[in-house]
Structure 1
Amino acid sequence: MNSVYVDLATGLVIAFLLFSLLLSGINEGLVRILGIRSKFLWAYLRDMLDGAEGKRSWIPSTVREVFARLPFGRKDARPKFDPMPPPMRSTATTWSGRLYERLREIDHNTAGRTSISFVPPGRFAVAMMEMIAAEGGVPAMLDKLRQDGSPLYGPLKGVWESAKEDAEAFREGVEEWFDGEMQRLTVLYRKYVRWVIAALGLALTLFFSMDSLEYGKAILSDNAVRAQVAATADGGAAAVRGLRDKCPEHPSDPYACVTEILASPAFVKIVGNAPVSVVIPDNGNPRWIWNGGEWLNRIVSPGHWPGFLVTFFALLFGAPFWWDILRRLTGIKFRSTETTTS
């Protein structure tokens, strides 16, 4: 009996793990195609270096703005891609543009706008020192930042005073300060990504119309069929009669029915509830089947929604969580090989 519940738990965990991996893959694909990370970073850098445009921040303040502005908004905060090395004398009109001039060497060869989505704190500190040298020193740059009304003036002035006008201590202070800003940006990014993951998770659950409660029942049904097949093998003709009752469509050959049932396990059945599914016959090529009517009936049926909600909330835990649960259930362990050098 315990093995039945272990099989049930393992089947559910594997399903949640696979769907969570699919969800993560879709999210990562959209992020890369639309350049979300890069847009988010440069929106933050423009706020930090140049200040908000008028009274409007480049960083969206609501979830609706994240969906509307960052992926598809007309105002893209990213600088235009430039393969040229940084000039001796800056030609940029904004501080974020001057920063990009110093970061071109870590940019990728791409058309349109920059693909830089992460700036190492050490590289940012070096870029700032290069900009300071071009401006004639820290005091001169601070005066220029103050005149331009840049939000960067306050933090850099505080770092300069804390460093007691020591250039090396100032560089280290800028690096530490920027590292803190990037951590703050990461928290902000993850806050909005959670909403994106939730929206994608709901769409994925409804697309496959994955009812977790129905899926669990199907797993138990598969186990029951296997148990009956095992009993039939030991029970002779009397046990075969019970198998015929379960497979009325194959009265003369109940084993053909068992083969058909076990060839389509619970997971295959649950994935087959999507609007479009693939059928692989015994002979012939795979065929696409339109299940739009049946799928719509499942979506509007109140009886399936408790299972849909279980699936939806399970996907929010993420693939790492379900992988850890699967390892605990199955006892999968990884060997760590340590190499020693003499």
Structure 2
Amino acid sequence: MLLRQLEYLVALARERHFARAAAACYVSQPSLSAAIRKLEHELDVPIVRRGRRFEGLTPEGERVLLWAHRILAERDALRHELSAMRGGLAGTLRLGAIPTALTAASLLTTPFVERHPRARVSLDSLPSRDITQRLAEFELDIALTYLDDESLGQVRKTPLYEERYLLLTPAGGPMQGQRTARWAQIADLPLCLLSPQMRNRLIMDEYFAADGVAAVAPAIETDSVAGLYAHLAAGRWSSVISHAWLHMFGVPDGMRVMPLEHPSHGPRVGLVIADRSPEPVLARALLEIAREAGVREALDDLLDTYLHPADLPEQRLDGTVAATDQPRDGTGTASG
């Protein structure tokens, strides 16, 4: 059995098409097909259900695929171990992140690459169910997700921060003059929220329900934080955001953020790694960065900057900044 045969099988299972799998492996389709047939012969089991086109894997093939992922992951781990012994980590860290935590990923990936300049990061935005599956199938080294997700299975968890929910609303709108808001109070605002299938939205719906709102009906729903902010820039809509989003997007001109009451903190977000030994070397290196990065403190400091405008250049009620002062970008630092 050759590792190349296992690579072909993994590519075929991913692409679900012989020609695309061959192209992904930079070989001809006959070469890929012949290698998988040879693997079937060596293992003495049928792996691929064949017809006029690819029809999936047999039950035996699914088991072989799981072992293929495991064997290839162990090979990569060996390479990374040897690379570290030769003078520094190299290779690609495969990091998955739920969309609502993606905005905070750079707090980890930037110092990781700075410390390990020979390493690279492949960062994928994934729903939580895909993160669980790809960790189990050795397709991710580590993931950034909700730690209280019951579907995670056997993983090791490293907490980073707790989501803190804020109302992002026009500065001169109906909430003008208030310092905090209740979930029931904002349900009737013109809202733009994430889509109902996203876990972040499901959590928010629970908080609305706990405050007496049977069903919130936003005018606009989107499956990305970027899509949400694209609508908020118009100055018409309000939204509920996580404070971690301020790291990337800040507060649009003419808007303000307000804390939402009860609860003051939301679910925990952190890094998860499959509960197996040895840990992938690159994943272990990212965990070391996470223990030093102070993600919770950095996000809380940023939130404090936006919640206490007295610490900022003079801010008018309409959300604009006095002309003599420099505006601030999404990180809370002076820009321009």
TM over 0.5: no
TM-score (norm 1): 0.23
- Structure number with the higher helix fraction is 1
Structure number with bigger Rg:
1
TM-score (norm 2): 0.24
- Structure number with the higher strand fraction is 2
The structure with higher relative contact order (CA 8 Å, sep 6+) is 1
